[in-house]
Chains A and B, each alone.
Chain A
Amino acid sequence: MHSSLSHLRIAGLAVTTGSVVRDFLADGLAAGVDRAALERTAKTIGLRERRVASAGVTALDLCADATERLLAEMGLDASSIDAVIFVTQTPDHSQPNNASLLHGRLGLSKSAPAYDLAMGCSGWVYGLHQAALLCAHGGAARVLLCAGDTLSRLTNPGDRATDPLFGDAGSATLVEKTGRSAPMHFVLGADGAGAAAIQVKQGGARQPAGPLAERTDAEGNRTHDANLVMNGADVFSFTLREVPGALEAVMRHAGYAPATTDALVLHQANRFILSTLAKKAGFTEAQTPMAVVERYGNQSSASIPCALIDGLADRLEAGPLKVVGCGFGVGLSWGAFAGEFGPLTVAPIASFPR
């Protein structure tokens, strides 16, 4: 689906990460993996360290911290927020949703609706599209988009293919209605037939909590039904198959070309995927921020705002920049975007608790 929405802007961005630093090499050695093999993987995939949430800290806490820091940075009161959208697959509870909990925590106006989107690595783009719709057509002047997960809690330490990948983070993005007519373009899509490539089977209505039997795959990775289980090769094939076309389509709608676009900001899955996608889409590595995953890990729906801040903060504050990007992952789903970002307010990346 293609959608172009105008009279809106991203006014501010903030990301809060978990406070516990996990080192890829040290963790692998402790798990008995050969050092040379770890070093080869680290070099190819781009894994070094990641930040995970400390005990008791949830995506709600991380997003609340990001929101409070962003509002303070912008000198705004929470009462000025007209709606809250919370993108997460790791909510505090199955009911009520995280957006309602954040609404209560921040003391937002009762006229501000609050709802969740159950999306993962593509989710920030879906949330941005929702926020843009509310500003363009829904009567909102300022929408708070929170996106974040604590996926590190869902992986099995015995799953060496998946466990070292994820970091925990929460983001806050403020989207505002403006008089500026330059549209933001979106191309959104899904391939539900590939849903089994990334899943947590247990915990929903189909398979509620129950006894867990651990299984071992052909490569010796151990998982059970309450774990996030990912078929990395199938996810990678899906990404190569769908993301370049989505980027091409969204750039066509925007009238952008790689050479005249300032940045390509992709979901920070890993360096290998990012450099492959950038090359396939015709962008240089210099145009494509990809350092997030080496420092923070794959942060699910918080990774695109984190890459915007980590790679482009100064340029976004000065803005505008022509930015193209894409989130992709669980669903399977993808969301590409293109538009002018900035000037906007950026709160520095911080960890919680500090």
Chain B
Amino acid sequence: MTSEEKLRLLRGDVDLFASAQPDTVLAALPDWGSLAILLIIVHFEEKHRLSVAGAQVRGCRTVAELLALIP
């Protein structure tokens, strides 16, 4: 799956990312916080069958870094 496809899936599944770009800084998103991290964990689990820990998500600075967690 390409980075563009991963981003498209994320935008369609989690409202918070509706207009996000690869260089969008996660902490700058409105509503960024513990709930957003839960939504990302579920998105990875359901769309990519990927289990990630909260610390892995918190360790990402941008949307591109977040998507790079997906193999």
Which A residues contact B (CB, under 8 angstroms)?
A: 37, 40-41, 44-45, 161, 218-219, 231-234, 236-237, 240-241, 272, 276, 280
Contacts and interface: CB of A to CB of B under 8 A. Distances in A.
Contacts of A161: 33-34
28 contacts: A44-B35, A45-B35, A161-B33, A161-B34, A218-B58, A219-B33, A219-B34, A231-B54, A232-B38, A232-B54, A233-B34, A233-B37, A233-B54, A233-B57, A234-B53, A234-B54, A236-B38, A236-B41, A236-B54, A237-B51, A237-B52, A237-B54, A240-B41, A240-B42, A241-B51, A272-B42, A276-B45, A280-B45
Contacts of B23: none
Q: Which 5 A-B pairs have the closest CB atoms?
A: A233-B54, A233-B37, A161-B34, A234-B54, A232-B34
A233 B34 CA distance: 7
B1 interface: no
A218 B55 CA distance: 12
Interface in B39-71: 39, 41-42, 45, 51-55, 57-58
A44 B39 contact: yes
Nearest to B32: A219
Contacts of A234: 53-55
Given A161-B33, A219-B34, A240 B45 contact: yes
A241 B45 CA distance: 10
Interface of B: 31, 33-35, 37-39, 41-42, 45, 51-55, 57-58
Contacts of B35: 41, 44-45
A290 to B, nearest CB: 16
Contacts of A276: 42, 45
A233 B33 contact: no
Nearest to A40: B31
Given A161-B34, A219-B33, A276-B45, 8 more contacts: A218-B58, A219-B34, A233-B53, A237-B51, A237-B54, A272-B42, A276-B42, A280-B45
A264 B33 CA distance: 30
A65 B51 CA distance: 42
A328 to B, nearest CB: 15
B16 to A, nearest CB: 9
Contacts of B52: 237
A276 B47 CA distance: 13
A233 B51 CA distance: 12
Contacts of A219: 33-34
